[in-house]
Amino acid sequence: MTQRDVVFPPGRQALYERNRYSPAIKSNGFLFVSGQVGSNEDGSPEPDLEAQVRLAFNNLNAILGAAGCTFDDVIDVTVFIVDPESKFETIWKVLPEFWGNAPHPTLTGVGVTWLYGYQFEIKVIAKLPETTG
């Protein structure tokens, strides 16, 4: 088995070890990021939906930054939303704060019934920056 090249954001390694998954893996020039939610440092959900979405993006950006990336390097996005019909507008008005300018990444949106107490989750694939030798 190949050793996984794991990326941990600052101050969150214990959370990932407790839940037994890697926040992100570098592989073949890409960064595969696990779904990020609006969790506080202790792992609890942020109760306010808009704040939860912002926190999910902040948590995502911490992982991207730890790998030397920004959201501009993201090429594919998957979002999971509990009850998207009632929450879509609230969530989508926060996205421009983080999304950047066109061209935008690809997007798949999935409506779900449960996210472990959260209302929104985002997972991405990003292109790692080219390194010069």
- pLDDT for 1 equals 59
Which residues, 6 or more positions from 36, have their beta carbon under 8 angstroms from its beta carbon?
23, 56, 57, 59, 60, 63, 121, 122, 123
What digits encode the pLDDT tens for the residues 11-59? Answer: 777 777 777 888 999 999 999 999 999 998 778 899 999 999 999 999 9
* 8 A C-beta contact, residue 33 and residue 64: yes
By C-alpha distance, which of 26, 91, 96, 38 is closest to 64? Answer: 26
Give this prediction's pTM: 0.92
Instruction: Delimit the domains of the chain by residue range.
Output: 5-127
* 8 A C-beta contact, residue 123 and residue 117: no
CATH entry 3.30.1330.40 includes domain 5-127: yes
Query: How far apart are the C-alpha atoms of 2 and 119, rounded to whole Å?
Result: 35
